[in-house]
Structure 1
Amino acid sequence: MRKLFVLSLSVVLAAMAIASPLRAADQPNVVILLSDDQRWDDYSFLGHEAIQTPNIDRLAKGSLVYERGYVPTSLCRPSLASLFTGQYPHQNGIVGNDPRENKRTNEGRQVLVERFMKNPRLAEILGKHGYVSFQSGKWWEGHNSSGGFTEGMSHGDVKKGGRHGDVGLTIGRKTMQPVIDFIDKSVEADKPFFLWYAPMMPHLPHNPPEHILKKYTAEGRSINVAKYYAMCDWWDETCGVVLDHLDKKKVADNTIVIYLCDNGWIQRSDEGGGAVGGPRGKRSVYDGGTRTPIMIRWPGHVKPRTDKTDLASSIDVVPTILDAVGIETDYHFPGVNLLDRAEVTSRKAIFGEIYAHDIPNYHHPELGLFYRWVIDGEWKLIVPTGQEEGEYGPMKPALFHVGSDPEEEKNVIADHPEIAEKLQKELDAWWNPKT
């Protein structure tokens, strides 16, 4: 009789749990801190000789840090779309910043937004499982609701300045209040939350506060370089505001914080960087454009350590988050769970693709494709399509040993044709636009 009572009681309690709204204590919060246009090692914790990033250093100290992290493509919009959907650009259709036709109209951009919305979207998935969410900073896909956010800053209306974030771009540079208010409201409502914090920093314009710029103004250092260094410092300062507020609200221990950058940047001394950030930075196929540290902090669940060997990709972020919070979906995500060491170490290689800035046809991504690349261990193969004129990568296939040649200066494909052939097969098995 006692067994029957216990069984009945457990059924009742389970039913009550299903019927009751999700409480914050039931699920960890999720925060993504997304840098914008920053070289992978422009942090003091990674040994930069001048840039000071004490808040990000503190985050790294408490995180699982993948020093060999990458984004599959080195341009803002497709990089963010791949991060948010867990799909490669050729899968989700967002392969450039703007449509080639009608690029400055709502009609032209809406076609891409509608394509984006056919993909799995992180905020929408979390929302279906009780999360509230907030978009701030960079956001290319129209109104924030297109990502499934319950709240946000960006309206996406081209006629009102919408393109890549509009009102949302005030976050970090002009105010932190919307983010603070969202955290406060979520905690007060006892709801698990997802925060997308992606300010346009250290992205151009490089106009840091004077008190920060003074720290980096030095004899023999270009003012352009000093401004970029100060922007990295300013970005770090805003990250500190977010991290400190999680502590203040006593939710840091129940919050997964993920840090990465959308693409690299190489600051030239003679100019502000233009739209490229140096010939091997933003938009390039080289590590200066595609590499970023990827960090995951979850106190009590993720043991802090630095991984200098294994490969990580922004394509892994969505499956990592969903596995961590216990959400299963019917979507196929090509990435791995970065908290599962067996998955990470068993993966052979990571991949990427570089495109034209403007999208010729999202139905046929190969029409704007410049390069594909693959990294297996310490070997990196770059395969150009011949559609690009060489500004962002090599004109012919190139093989680099990034372990001994991190700046990818010596093409050794002639010395190791067997390695190039092996990597080419891996690359084609991943995605061959000709098949």
Structure 2
Amino acid sequence: MIRTLICTLALGSLCFAKPNIVLILSDDQAWTDYGFMSHEQIETPALDKLAAESLTYTRGYVTAPLCRPSLASMFTGVYPHQHGITGNDLRDGKKLVSRSDPKGAKLHQTLYERFRMYPGLAGELGKADYLSLQTGKWWEGDPKQSGFTHTMSHADPERGGRHGDAGLEISRNGITPIRKFLDEAEGQEKPFFIWHAPFLPHTPHNPPDELFEKYKAMVDSPHVARYYAMVEWFDQTCGELIDELDNRGLSENTVVLYVTDNGWIQNPEKGKYAPLSKQDVHEGGVRTPIMVKWRGHISALLDESTPVSVIDLAPTILKVAELEVPDTMKGIDLRDRDALKARNTVFGADHSHDIRGIDKRADNLESRYVVHGDWKLILHNHENFPPPVYGGTRNGKENNPKGDPELYNLIADPHETKNLAEENPDRVAELTKLLDAWWDGSETR
């Protein structure tokens, strides 16, 4: 059995095993697109079972509606304007910076080093002798430089290193690397941490034929059918991983956490995302279920009211491992429901796809949001991105072309169809103060 026994020297004291930790990260999936979230067509039996066995928050939020900054926040427990990863790619002036030319490599290395100034999950768990495996999405250079003991991604730009390279094969082509890692962890009798970030249901939407045919018979758009099929394929791969833990007898001492990196609403007309989803701070871009399962230690519960954030993941994982949480991590242990209810507030921001420079944390800021209880306020940054860049279209009409403040009651209107800002100026002012106290949109490090 994979374990590390931690014992005190006092006579009669008890030994206990450090729990293993598996963090499952979906890639580009809407918060609605699960059976347990009552989707009428998509079937996700493995994730439905995980949700039923977990402390599950249906009102989870990412710090950014784009994968790289969102994942960086999950790993460090801090926001993009702090760790500096505000977009996916890097610009120097108007030009995209290549990772392979000398100047570009130096700029990227500086960005990685500043990211690593913040304690991250793999390094902190390594202090307790955890073995750690990186699979799937990873943007921040060589994963071993961020504390992973085992990696799938090489991050060599000469061999296609960008956002995961060889690691992106996980789950799309089985989980053999995970099986080999589990064998090694068992042989060394050490606890393990797995960063499982498969390139699913992310494009390319090339699901197994039988899944595509299944959903093609249900919907009119082949693009939607392919996306739905990708979600079920991803669910199957999650089941494969969880079954592997069960078959090895690891489930009793393994904590499984689940979250998605950002939302996705499929465009029915083409193989792209629709407005108000990815790269947008509306619910379709930033909301996700967040689950924590630890059989025998965490009671299963479906919480449909408390807003929680992905910055809560890192402190939760470290506290589960009985490690000290670094001062940089301000999130709350997801097991502490009283503290989460008392906070009742989460924040996030959308920056443009490209970072505008390694020293420019605010130059690509587009929008900020705060969720406080039932209410959500979105403020757009006219200084960097003047109207009408906001929101695309909704039902064939331009959504908020002037970039006005947007206020929604998410309980009454979870899909944000009615902007209540004009009739609630006091609430807009109150939430604006909360948002500015979190981050006012200025440069910070």
Shorter-chain TM band: over 0.9
Could you list the structure 1 runs, at least 4 aligned residues long, displaced by more than 6 angstroms after superposition: none
Q: After superposition, what is the alpha-carbon deviation per residue over 1:283-324, rounded to whole angstroms, capped at 9, x for unaligned?
A: 001000000000000011100010000011101000111112
Residues 150 and 71 (structure 1), Cα distance of their counterparts in 2 relative to 1, 3 Å cut = same
Match of 1:43 in 2: 34
1:21-420 matches, cutoff 5 A: 26-101=17-92, 103-106=97-100, 107=105, 108-218=107-217, 220-273=219-272, 277-386=273-382, 387-388=384-385, 389-392=388-391, 394=400, 395-420=403-428
Report deviation, 1:185.
1.9
Structure 1 residues 129 and 409: alpha-carbon distance in aligned structure 2, compared to 1, 3 A threshold: same
Q: Look up the SS of the partner of 1:48 in the other structure.
A: coil
Alpha-carbon distance, 1:13 to partner: 9.7
Deviation at 1:45, TM superposition (A): 1.1
Cα deviation for residue 408 of structure 1 reads 1.1
Q: CA deviation at 1:188?
A: 3.0
Aligned-residue offset at 1:423: 0.4
The separation in 2 between residues aligned to 1:279 and 1:89, in whole angstroms, is 22
Write the deviation string for residues 200-256 of structure 1: whole angstroms up to 9, x where unpaired.
100000000112212212165211111000100110011011100110110111011
Residues 264 and 285 in structure 2, CA contact (< 8 A), matched pair in contact too: yes
- Structure 2 equivalent of residue 426 of structure 1: 434
Distance 1:325 1:232, change over 3 A: same
Structure 1 gap segments, 5+ residues each: 1-8, 18-22
Question: Percent identity among equivalent residues?
Answer: 45
Alignment partners' CA distance in 1, 2:180 and 2:228: 29
Task: Tell me which protein shows more helix as a share of its residues.
Answer: 1
CA RMSD of aligned residues (A): 1.8
Q: TM-score, normalised on structure 2?
A: 0.90
Alignment partners' CA distance in 2, 1:79 and 1:50: 28
Partner deviation per Cα, 1:92-132 (whole Å, 9 max, x = no partner): 11111011125222414222212211111100000111100
Q: Number of residues paired by the alignment?
A: 416
> Are 1:93 and 1:115, in contact at CA under 8 Å, matched by a contact in 2?
yes
One-letter code of the match for 2:175?
A: M
CA contact under 8 A between 2:90 and 2:355: conserved in structure 1? Answer: yes
- Is the Cα–Cα contact under 8 Å of residues 119 and 326 in structure 2 kept in the other structure? no
TM-score with structure 1 length normalisation? 0.92
Shift of 1:362: 3.4
- When structure 1 is superposed on structure 2, of 397-406 and 199-208 the one drifting more is 397-406
Contact residue 381 and residue 400 of structure 1 kept, 8 A: yes
Structure 2, unmatched stretches of 5+, are 1-7, 393-399
Distance 1:329 1:13, change over 3 A: farther
